[in-house]
Amino acid sequence: MRRFVLFAIVSLFAALLFFAWTTWQQAQAFERETETIITRLSAESQVEQGKNQLLELLSFGYYDNYSKHLEELNQHKELQSAYAKSVEIMAWLFGGTALLLLLLAWFTRSDLGDVAYAMLGIAFISLLVGLATPILSIEASKDLPVLGETLLQYQSKGVLSTLDALYDNGYWWLALVLLIFSVVLPMMKTAVGGLTFFSRTSPLLEKWFHISHHLGKWSMADVFVVAILVAFFANSGADSLTHAEVRPGLWFFLGYVLLSMLAFQLLGRELKRE
């Protein structure tokens, strides 16, 4: 029975890693298709396609570059929609598998400590996806006379891509600060918390737990999530041109924050009991 439970737990964690990896891959593919669509809807491209449309009309369809452009644009939009749907499905499968893992951890021994460690494992995987996947996109577009739908500006950022942009623009010190408090410390906090699993019957348990607790005080992961949500609501519907959209990375990042907070609360209770 014990071997079966261990096999089930390992299998569920493997499934979580697969769904997390696939979510990241599909999200990256979605971003690539989005960038292609953006290029085709830029003002420069629309001016060029306006000329092609006129030439196609004057040549009675013999010069068909404009029709080909529309066909390719629709194909990219269909691919974009398919990737978005795939990301959503993978995210739901990740959440469902995580729930099964937590239920298995609880029903095996009815031990909140086991549930807490399962939460930490799920939280760590969620953090990796949340860091590497876009979390928010903001676009400004308008239906212009003659040109039609034209994209004026588009930005899609995640935690790591934001750090990379700050470094490329010369703000290496700010990138370093954000790297430490939004990436390194959250990962160290979760990793150190997970180490207590191997010292549950050791005097080191309390020491490891307090180290992770102090690391959590300096972590800015929860602050980062709040800042992103504020930016989302500030840019969503601010005017008719600007539209903000939450990307899947934010939900994984939020999942990390909530699961890690709850896990350390449960571990703290277990420590007090002992």
Cα–chain-centroid distance for residue 238? Answer: 24
- How buried is 211 (Cβ within 10 angstroms: 0-12 exposed, 13-18 middle, 19+ buried)? middle
What phi and psi, each to the nearest 5 degrees, are found at residue 63?
Answer: -90, 100
Token look-up 């996806």 returns: 129
Query: How far apart are alpha carbons 151 and 40 in whole angstroms?
Result: 9
Select from 196, 17, 192, 234 the least CA-distant residue to 122: 17
**Residue 159 has what pLDDT?**
81
| First-last CA distance in the chain | 27
Give the DSSP per-residue string, 221-260: HHHHHHHHHHHHHHHTTSSSSEEEEE-HHHHHHHHHHHHH
Segments of the chain scoring below 50 in pLDDT: 146, 238
For residue 180, CA distances in Å to 164, 172, 195, 241 come to 14, 12, 20, 35
Query: How far apart are alpha carbons 128 and 140 in whole angstroms?
Result: 29
For residue 165, CA distances in Å to 55, 185, 249, 271 come to 41, 21, 17, 42
**Residue 146 has what pLDDT?**
47
| Residue 269 and residue 112 in contact, taking contact as beta carbons nearer than 8 Å | yes
Query: How far apart are alpha carbons 185 and 215 in whole angstroms?
Result: 6
Query: How far apart are alpha carbons 129 and 183 in whole angstroms?
Result: 12
Select from 173, 179, 188, 138 the least CA-distant residue to 159: 179
Which value, to the nearest 10 degrees, does the dihedral of the CA atoms of residues 260, 262, 266, 267 take? 20
Query: How far apart are alpha carbons 156 and 171 in whole angstroms?
Result: 19
